[in-house]
Structure 1
Amino acid sequence: MFQEITLFLVCGLGSLGQHCVMALKKFGVRVIAIEQTIPKTWDFPEFPQQLEELIIGDCRQIEILERARLQKCRSVLIVTSDEEVNAQTALTVREINSQIRLVVRSGQENLNQLLNQQLGNFFADEPTQLTAAAFALAGLGDETIGFFTLNNHRLQVVKHLVKSDDPWFYRSDKLHELNNKKRHILAHFSEPSLNFQGFNQWEANTQLKPGDTLIYVELVEEFFQGLSSSLSKSRKQRHQWKDKLKKFINRFKLELWQLGSFSLLRQVRTVILVCTILVLLLLIIGTFLFNSYYPETTLLSGFYATVILLLGGYADLFGDFQPVSSMPPWLQFFALSLTIIGTVFVGVLYAALTEALLSAKFQLLRTRPPIPQKDHLVIVGLGKVGQRVASYLNEIKQPQVAITFNPDFDRTILPNIPLIIGNLKESLTQAHLSTAKSIIITTDNEMLNLEIALMTRLINPDSRLVIGAYRKGLSERLTLLLKNTQVISSYSVPNQDAAFDGSNAISRISGCNLALARSLMKSFPKTLPMPFYQHQAQYLLRELSKFLIKAELIDLFDH
């Protein structure tokens, strides 16, 4: 039993891993470490002597973890510099040991929450963000020495020095009287004995005196819950009205954001903004200049004159060849500048609008079908693989919706399929993921695939999940953790495509039944039962070679 609770495993011996080992050793526990290569230098000269055992190898491999006595470890700290390696190692560790505590280095908050829900007994964070708690504690003052969340309740640990004017000193004679529903005393020691003796070592009937020190845990958010429950009915209705107004404003902002993301506006909004600001500035300057130089005119007349000049009407005001003696040359030059600037910016605005309209002509001409409400397929990722999958499903008239996270995706591609472009969470919501029958993940980012898979299982546990894996390891572990999941690795996709295309070629060139051709492709190596003319056979060989299928001719007269 002693071995089971005092043995820890650390994967990755960079600077963070070494500091973790040294911190664990302060608690008197034994530490085993895994590292791919021995570092040339250690941050601590005595570091090698602190390890129970140093194993050189890949921490993602099951045999390495078993050699590190994973089954006997209390916790494993996965702190390599590669977040993908850390996630894959965490999945492998949970496969071997379903109870061990997992501490993982990862800065991806959403993925960390999903892994925590899926794996259990799991903690992950980025080391650079861990200092936030230290800054918060420092800002709270000397008394608060820690805080944590338990069952959606915020609690804090406080170290309090009792003073003579402390309200507690007058309300309670005995130490146990300080305990209530919100506060529990953990430790108490008086001024002569300042050494901490451990939790719950205090005497219940001890008399509280000034100078005593208390350490207690306190619930800090129940007050707000109680306050909300004591609100009057009118105040509750007022809060509900404010919540509805807030939701409406957020919805309006979302609509504006979606409108601003439309390609037509995105291309011209900068030009329109610059033009508007400059025209307004020139209107103000011109109006005040003409009004100040000609006192008999009004501001409205000066405004109209400036507008005429900005629209190219210089000849309407100064069209005669006779010099305008009543106007100084600089003001006449300013009037000419207004006409030139106005003409230039109107031309630029027309050019930008024309270019945007030409680039968006396909978007304006065709509208995509609506997003299905239920029993549909969701394709996440529209690279080459995703586009081909969508095309196949479209050919057999399957209801589907495609999601891409690329804002510059060519919207003329797959025009007959509903398309969603946006961030991950909003896109999955718009795709009605909770009522979909299948989700197909085809992005080339395995960490993103893992995150989407975990979110899918959280939203729709019963759906069919298909994940594209581009190398063995991370995604393939999901089949052991997520039910109703299929992983299609990159090395198996070409074989499936080749079998499909090869059977079509055999059926087309030989004239045999397509079912027979597919049966032959599934039972390689095989001899085709039908005879071919020489040129016909050579043509078939050339077609099969395009799909990386190796075939050879057999002379019937030699057999």
Structure 2
Amino acid sequence: MSSLAASVPRPSEDDDAGFPGEATAVDCRAELVLVCGLGSLGQACLSRLLSFDVPLAGLDLQPPSWLDPTLRKRLGAGLLQGDMRQPGDLQRAGLHQARAVLLLSSDGSVNVEAALQCRLLNPGATIVLRSSSRQASLGALLEARLPGLAVVDPALLATGAISGALRPGEAAASFEADGQLYHLVEGPRQDPRWQRPVQHPDQAGGGGSDLLLTPGSFHPLGVAPTAAGQRAEAVAGVTALPRRLLAPLARRSRAQWLAVGALALLLVIGPQLFSHPGSWRQGMFVTLALLKGEYVDPVNVLLDGGAGLAEASGWLITGTLLYSLVGTLLTSALVAVLLERLLRDRLVRRRPARLRRGLRPVLLVEGSDLARGVAHALQRQKLPVVRVQRGEDWEDQEAGTPIYESVDAALTALRGSRVSAVGLLSPDLLANLEAALALQRRWPEARLAVLAHALAAAPRLGELLGGVTVISAVDLAADALVATAFGERVEGVVGIGGHHLLLVRYRIAPGDTLLGRTIARLEHGYGVTAVSLRRRGSATVIELPACDLVVATGDAVLVLATLKGLRRIERGEAVPPAWRLRLRVPDGIEGEARFECQQCLARWLGCALGETTGLLARSEVLTPLLDREPAERLHAELRRLGIFSQLEGQLPGQLERQP
């Protein structure tokens, strides 16, 4: 029985009330986690916290409508009715003994008021505040001013997950970190340097899964492009440059070309007509002044000093009048265009820009602020985006995102185009599903992502529909909020195969669980995947750090992990290494070969060079236990040096050997 179940009294089976009773106070226990706001998001967080084996308490202004009836029974007297902004209610809920407080009201202002009260009553607790995109600036200021306060925007987390699911290509999922795009792909590992097996806590100590993490700067399968391929791409880019520069000219109409030609002809003829012999500057000045719509000043320049208009020739009067009339028309047209642009931007909705043929855009239906964030994330990766949004303010069209009032209007504009992905982001799940199934018939090869705000069975629904990724915003936010409650800095959530992988950045402090451990020990011991490493005082980010690198104080490590893996790190519950090598050292290995062998052993065993002398002094020896990847790398290097080695792995109930 868990400590939670033992320490919280259970209500009777026939107790159907939202709260079990009028408890006066929660039993104060160390390590308490207090959840304020028990809507769908609060209940999702509570259900995840139950598996963490920590004391829990819940506080809400109204009796909640329980999505899982067993959850209320598990919590028992830990549920209280009250206002999270009131100090008395917070104290009754056990705030003074809480290690973490989750403020999850749908009203952001209520969460902010409650956060200030919580910080006054318990200066040492971690406070996790639910925020929205409209409160992003306030959240950043609060995080900077109040230590131990973390602001989490569920919409921002959903933005990363949805944009990752919509990116075209062979990758199962994608995400951005440290300005780099990463892909999760399935397939055999071909390049150990640029392909990292994604670890999972249930597979800790083993070889990871068939899912590979690879930087987006490489081929989708993680293989670096060849030099010949890079040269071919460079040549293709150079040859296509003139075509790209001339493309805007090709879209001009015949009438526009005729107008441009007539203006050029007037510019050529004017200086010849209005200049004295040997004075072309005068002719150019008069021509430009007339084409600007002026008349008196240019004519005065043409008349000789003292000569009147009565003495001017007929060709002069006629020519200057014609040029001045053309100039007046040009000036009027320019003013009309400028006024039309200004009035259209202020008073009239613009028509969406015409789509170029051959594009494979991503179509986003509804979603408002969420869709805007997804569009910006996709456009940073040079992916064209088309949106459907009723009542949109149309500001995004300045960023090159065509926006249509209805799906039918977008389909008309996309006629003849092949859409690469479709995101259905409306709050109405049924409307999303209906549109997804209809659009799947039109573009069967397109990726489909459907937003389900509070659907617990989202992954199974996606499997049932086939070819549709159903993303639950509540599940994404709940995983991130729970991880943040335990002091982790969550920078994103990646959804794949019905599971959520959290992007968490650890800053290594003295006494930290990860201090002094290699990347391989971190991955295989705790079931997480190292994405990047930034050394203390360095601006350089090491992508997919090598497995033998040691984590030091002040380093920042970005990992891809599940809640279970993060909990293992917090508790220090590492799976011990389970692999070793059986070596047979040939007689007579001396000199440079022996020294190179010692260097190899010292590197992968993590010991001093002199400590490897004993391993080479015997004809057959077993190395200390290693994690799988260092053992495989050491095995390959020793074989290259001509030393026989056999890889042995101790798996549950058996001994695995590999030649």
| TM value normalised by structure 1 | 0.32
- Greater per-residue helix proportion: 1
Select the structure with the greater relative contact order (CA < 8 A; seq sep ≥ 6): 2
